[in-house]
């Protein structure tokens, strides 16, 4: 098959990583794969000044920033400037895949010759910092959806009346993420991912950690992230922070933790939680994304409500207070939770879903309900200029 992925500006995000994994797998299976993305949007001068004041590196304004596509040898085509991808950019193909709400608008507008239209949904992107109605409208478009988790399939069915959705769960590369059987660390250690996006709930995680430290001042904090904290004081004193660590070294960070903490307010999946478990680390998480399907409180970690600082703190303390024997069982259970997961199996599912869409009768790709008409109204030509 000839397959085109239409991406937003590429970066080190989990969504780009997953798209890159499938693009690479499809290429290795003999399919012709092209990826298209715009470069970063030009920054307003005020944002550039703020970045300089905060002593951050000035973001690159042209070309491709570092991303999970680097070094994969894929046919990645970057537009000369930021703008929507159009018919002149996309080759004729069998399938064209949107990977983000904005790219769904672009793919919807492409000519039929660009391929059957697919929407790879990695989250329910209806956040206050985005144009919510436009985001919702993309889920009503006549694009066949592939989602990464069962909860997203239910959202598509219940909120957008679309039950014809494929679920292809994310996976963990156990050749990359693994760890030897171990006991508790000599110094109790909490690990977490640093991100300067409110949805990731780092503020909640730090509030929970502060409560734990009042009673357990001996704990060590370890974290990593693709962005640096804006200020040194953004992290508690003594935190061991690793900026954009090499992928092969991340497993060692997970394996140095007694508990992995994730306090996200919203997640499409939450790959770090799965990776931590593959490295035999129990997870304390909020009820969002994959952890809702995978974590059983008291068995492989602890699951709590979003924004519940007290419950997160209690969950951390519960894990850290287990005896060595009890913690080893938690660790084993966490590992067993993800032991059968593999990207090869997920790539099989993704490929089969694409083949079904490609081979489906033409009528199956036509709009079939009133929600499509509503989406078309929201995504009128004038809306594409509202950026």
Residue 181 lies in a domain: no
- Distance, CA of 153 to CA of 188 (rounded, Å): 38
Residue 106 lies in a domain: yes
Closest listed residue to residue 32, CA positions, set 116, 93, 86, 87: 93
Output the pLDDT for position 252: 97
Is the separation of the CB atoms in 268 and 101 below 8 Å? no
- Distance, CA of 132 to CA of 384 (rounded, Å): 14
On whether both 128 and 12 belong to a single domain, the answer is yes
Q: Is the pLDDT of residue 183 over 70?
A: yes
Residue 178 lies in a domain: no
Provide the token pair at 220: 């060590």
Q: Is the pLDDT of residue 225 over 60?
A: yes
Residues 6+ apart with CB under 8 A from 273: 260, 262, 283, 285, 289, 290, 291, 294, 295
Mean pLDDT of 227-254: 90
Residue 308 lies in a domain: yes
On whether both 150 and 219 belong to a single domain, the answer is no
Residue 83 lies in a domain: yes
Residue 183 lies in a domain: no
**Strands 301-304 and 283-286, how do they pair?**
parallel
On whether both 369 and 263 belong to a single domain, the answer is no
Q: Which residues of 281-298 are buried (b: 16+ CB within 10 A; e: fewer)?
A: bbbbbbebbbbbebbeee
Range of the domain at 242: 189-338
- Distance, CA of 85 to CA of 6 (rounded, Å): 8
In CATH, what number is assigned to the domain containing residue 36? Answer: 3.40.50.2000
* Percentage of the chain exceeding pLDDT 70: 88
Q: What is the pLDDT of residues 110-129, one digit of tens each?
A: 999 999 999 999 999 999 99
Residue 44: pLDDT band by 50, 70, 90 thresholds?
low
On whether both 327 and 353 belong to a single domain, the answer is no
On whether both 329 and 315 belong to a single domain, the answer is yes
On whether both 88 and 154 belong to a single domain, the answer is yes
On whether both 125 and 261 belong to a single domain, the answer is no
On whether both 199 and 330 belong to a single domain, the answer is yes
Residue with tokens 């920054």: 43
Among the listed ranges 66-75, 126-135, 288-297, 363-372, which one has the minimum average pLDDT value?
363-372
Mean pLDDT of 330-359: 97
Number of domains in the chain: 2
122 or 65, which is more confident? 122
On whether both 12 and 154 belong to a single domain, the answer is yes
Among the listed ranges 111-115, 151-155, 202-206, 360-364, which one has the minimum average pLDDT value?
360-364
- Average pLDDT score, the chain: 90
Q: Tell me the whole-structure pTM to 2 decimals.
A: 0.84
Output the pLDDT for position 376: 43
On whether both 230 and 94 belong to a single domain, the answer is no
Residue 65: pLDDT band by 50, 70, 90 thresholds?
confident
- Other Cβ atoms closer than 10 A to 384: 15
On whether both 312 and 349 belong to a single domain, the answer is no
Output the pLDDT for position 387: 34
- Distance, CA of 160 to CA of 321 (rounded, Å): 45
Residues 283, 285, 291, 293, CA torsion sign: positive
- Distance, CA of 172 to CA of 338 (rounded, Å): 8
Among the listed ranges 21-25, 205-209, 245-249, 263-267, which one has the minimum average pLDDT value?
245-249
Rg of the chain on CA atoms, in Å = 22
Residues 6+ apart with CB under 8 A from 355: 1
On whether both 143 and 269 belong to a single domain, the answer is no
- Other Cβ atoms closer than 10 A to 245: 14
């Amino acid at each position: 098959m000839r397959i085109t992925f239409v991406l937003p500006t590429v970066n080190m995000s989990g969504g780009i990583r997953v798209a890159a994994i499938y693009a690479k797998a499809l290429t290795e299976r003999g399919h012709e794969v092209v990826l298209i993305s715009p470069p970063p949007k030009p920054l307003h001068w005020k944002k550039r000044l703020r970045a300089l004041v905060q002593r951050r590196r000035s973001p690159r304004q042209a070309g491709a920033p570092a991303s999970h596509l680097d070094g994969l040898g894929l046919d990645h085509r970057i537009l000369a400037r930021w703008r929507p991808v159009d018919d002149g950019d996309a080759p004729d193909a069998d399938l064209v895949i949107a990977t983000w709400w904005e790219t769904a608008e672009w793919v919807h507008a492409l000519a039929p010759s660009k391929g059957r239209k697919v929407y790879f949904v990695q989250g329910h992107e209806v956040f206050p910092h985005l144009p919510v109605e436009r985001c919702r409208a993309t889920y009503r478009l006549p694009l066949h959806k592939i989602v990464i988790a069962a909860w997203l399939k239910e959202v598509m069915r219940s909120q957008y009346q679309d039950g014809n959705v494929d679920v292809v769960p994310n996976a963990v590369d156990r050749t990359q993420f693994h760890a030897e059987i171990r006991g508790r660390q000599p110094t109790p250690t909490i690990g977490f991912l640093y991100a300067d996006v409110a949805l990731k709930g780092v503020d909640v995680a730090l509030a929970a950690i502060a409560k734990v430290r009042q009673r357990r001042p001996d704990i060590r904090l370890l974290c990593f992230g693709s962005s640096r904290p804006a200020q040194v004081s953004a992290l508690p004193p003594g935190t061991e922070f690793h900026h954009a660590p090499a992928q092969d070294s991340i497993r060692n960070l997970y394996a140095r933790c007694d508990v992995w903490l994730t306090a996200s307010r919203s997640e499409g999946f939450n790959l770090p939680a799965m990776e931590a478990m593959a490295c035999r680390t129990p997870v304390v998480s909020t009820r969002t994304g994959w952890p809702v399907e995978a974590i059983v409180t008291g068995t492989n970690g602890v699951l709590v409500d979003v924004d519940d600082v007290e419950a997160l703190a209690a969950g951390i303390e519960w894990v850290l207070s287990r005896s060595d024997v009890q913690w080893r069982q938690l660790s084993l259970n966490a590992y067993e939770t993800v032991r059968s997961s593999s990207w090869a199996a997920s790539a099989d599912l993704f490929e089969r879903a694409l083949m079904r869409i490609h081979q489906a009768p033409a009528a199956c790709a036509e709009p079939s309900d009133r929600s499509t008409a509503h989406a078309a109204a929201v995504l009128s030509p004038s809306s594409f200029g509202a950026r």
